[in-house]
Structure 1
């Protein structure tokens, strides 16, 4: 918890952590209105999946050019520019009047999501190196906290907004204003150290990092799927009629993930990375089984278990990747994170296609299977390391 104390007691550390939270506040608010957009445009799950894939395509488009933008205008300025434009652009999908416009606007949002994500992680990395502190895990905890704030508060107040755009406007205004007020603490950071680390992506690393890469792809893919489909699952499969109640699955997922990430370092120190990943997968499998019972309380509890299990997996994968023999920490972490992020982006569309073939029950059964595969892969790695 020392890293959390550092963040809460020093604006230099809190300001970039708040960017992490801000990104997911907007996503968490958007998630509440995915069913509304789907009904307004009269599209099916497969079409919605393609629209969400456009978000992913925007992100993938930005990956090769994000470092150039950072180099041009500076790391701190890119972070503020990214979160501001990302928040403003997220108003567009809510008001899109056609399916084509929805796809275009989500693509544009994806561009800024990637730029912000790369910049904020590099910013924290730069500050860690300059100040010799460790705040990355806790900063990711703030990302999960943002989901709790966006979807949690949003689920409570959603019934008071007759026009969804009003809700998104309030969320956007809060995010933009708060970031503008506190960004001065990092605005002039250029980011040379973080920039060098970001350029270390090399496909030759696939062989030594294959197992970790598979796990990252599967687990982050499941995270992305739950983020976009949890509310629709509660509405379409569990038959929840209340807008506020239907958002509680994602709230539970984000809340337990937040807690897990704030306390995960201490647990890892005691049991070790591979054991923690196996335990996290087991907890998540139990969570998926609870979700698939299709009972309201069991499903919400299940989403909470999944969030708790997933919370410790990605940080531990990064820890292992950074310690892989013959590979620098920057190379290992950026490579595993890159493939994990691809999984995060493509999984929502994949679930949409599965749902169109069968139902969302089939989609969440697939997530149960992928989590089990991740656990088996970790067991293999553990046996090989003995």
Structure 2
């Protein structure tokens, strides 16, 4: 909890952490109104799927150019500009008068949040380097906190009565807090890196980290999308408990991220990723027991294990020798988002053709793969 106290006691660390919270507040507020938008525009599930793909397309479009923009204007300035841009873009999907404007709005929203994601992870990496502190994991915990705030805000839906007004109030409040704290990071620039000619030796650490990112994000997406169905179909859980797996996963995810920095400082970022993979593996073993309460406990261990992996990947990726921190972060983010989007789909095909149980057996094997890669990285010393 030391890093959490650090963030709460020092505006230099709270400022970028609040941007993490902001991203999830923007995205979560949009997400709770997806059914409303679908009904308002009279579109079917297939049309909605295409529109949501535009959001993902926006994310992937910005990734190749994000690091160049960040390096040119400075990571602190880039983070602040991204806050301004997403504050406008977040309004567009809910204001869309027709289907085509919805697709455009989601594309711009995706591009804005994708750029923000790279900018703020790079920003935290650079502040950690400058101040010789660890708070990346806790900053990601603030992202999870954003989801909790959105959940609490959803109780205001009947009172506000308008998606656009709800998002507008949210955007203004989030923006004003960011406006107040921007002075604490806006002048941060990435430390110069001694570039090396491209070689497989230089790229190999990033490639391995990208694989871990792909698997970790994909596993998180799978648990978010499939945990309730797994409890219902495989463990025959009662109706009141089918959401308990996701709740357990989310709770331990948030807790683990607030604890992760202190552990990382003691044992190192690669070892904590390996430890997280090992905990997640044990979690999958419990999930596969197909006993309701044991499976829920397994999902809790999954959340605890994966909670530290993604923040540490950004920390490691932003410190790879011979690579700009923004480029390393962008590569990790890109690999992770591909996994997050593809993972649940791949597992869905496996579940449909064989069994949902086989999908989670694959996730167990992939968690072991992460552990194996970290073992290799630790021996090689990156």
Instruction: Indicate the TM-score class for this superposition, using the shorter chain for normalisation.
Output: 0.7 to 0.9
> 2:219: which partner in 1?
222
Following superposition, the deviation at residue 311 of structure 1 comes to: 0.1
Aligned CA distance change for structure 1 residues 153 and 38 (closer, same or farther; 3 Å): same
- Whether 1:328 and 2:327 are equivalent positions in the alignment is no
CA distance in 2, matches of 1:91, 1:174: 14
Aligned to 1:122: 122
Aligned-pair distance for 1:165?
Answer: 2.4
Residue correspondences, number: 371
Q: Relative to 1, partners in 2 of residues 1:107 and 1:162: Cα closer, same or farther, differing over 3 Å? A: same
CA separation of 1:96/1:252 partners in 2, compared to 1, >3 Å: closer, same or farther? farther
Larger deviation, residues 348-357 vs 248-257: 348-357
In 2, Cα distance between equivalents of 1:57 and 1:176: 25
Residue 42 (structure 1) aligns with: 43
Partner of 2:189 in structure 1?
191
Query: Gaps spanning 5+ residues in structure 1: where?
Result: none
Contact 1:283–1:309 (CA<8 Å) still a contact in 2?
no
Asked if the contact 1:82–1:115 (Cα under 8 Å) also holds between the matched residues in 2, the reply is yes
Q: Is the 8 A contact 1:286 1:302 kept in 2?
A: yes
- Structure 2 counterpart SS, 1:57: helix
The answer to whether the 8 A contact 1:214-1:374 is kept is no
Change over 3 Å in CA distance of 1:15–1:6 after alignment to 2: same
Counterpart-to-counterpart distance in 1, 2:258 and 2:322? 22
Alignment partner, residue 173 of structure 2? 174
Does residue 273 (structure 1) correspond to residue 247 (structure 2)? The answer is no
Q: Which moved more, 1:2-11 or 1:32-41?
A: 32-41
Q: Please give the per-residue CA displacement for 1:360-379, whole angstroms capped at 9, x wherever unaligned.
A: x9789746634532324424
**Conservation of the 8 A alpha-carbon contact between 1:47 and 1:352:** no
Task: Provide the rounded CA distance (Å) in 2 between the counterparts of 1:73 and 1:130.
Answer: 19
CA-to-aligned-CA distance 1:78-136 (integer Å, 9 cap, x gap)? 21221122132112222334443322211101111122122222222332233332222
Name the residue aligned to 2:141. 141
Q: Distance in 2 between matches of 1:71 and 1:380?
A: 30
Pairwise CA distance, 1:18: 0.8
Contact 2:145 2:254 in 1 (8 A): yes
Output the TM-score relative to the length of structure 1: 0.75
Aligned pair partner of 1:338 in 312, 331, 341? 331
User: TM-score, normalising length from structure 2?
Assistant: 0.76
* SS of aligned partner of 1:133: coil
How far apart are the structure 1 equivalents of 2:204 and 2:135? 30
1:107 aligns with 2:104: no
Equivalent residue runs for 1:197-346 within 5 Å: 204=200, 205-208=202-205, 210-224=207-221, 229=225, 253-267=249-263, 269=266, 272-273=271-272, 275-282=274-281, 284-285=283-284, 304-317=300-313, 328=321, 335=328, 338-345=331-338
- Measured after TM superposition, the shift of residue 305 of structure 1 is 4.7
Mapped pair 1:81 → 2:81: yes
Report the 3-state secondary structure (helix = DSSP H, G, I; strand = E; otherwise coil) of the residue aligned with 1:166: helix
State the shift of 1:345 in Å: 4.6
For residues 13-52 of structure 1, the C-alpha deviation after alignment (integer angstroms, 9 at most, x for no partner) is 21111111111111222222233334444322x5444333
> Do the aligned partners of residues 284 and 94 (structure 1) sit closer, same or farther apart at CA in structure 2, a change above 3 Å counting?
farther
Give the Cα–Cα distance (whole angstroms) in 2 for the partners of residues 167 and 300 of structure 1: 34
Check 1:225–1:140 CA distance in 2 against 1; reply closer, same or farther (3 A cut).
same
Instruction: Kindly state the Cα deviation for residue 191 of structure 1 after the two structures are TM-superposed.
Output: 0.8
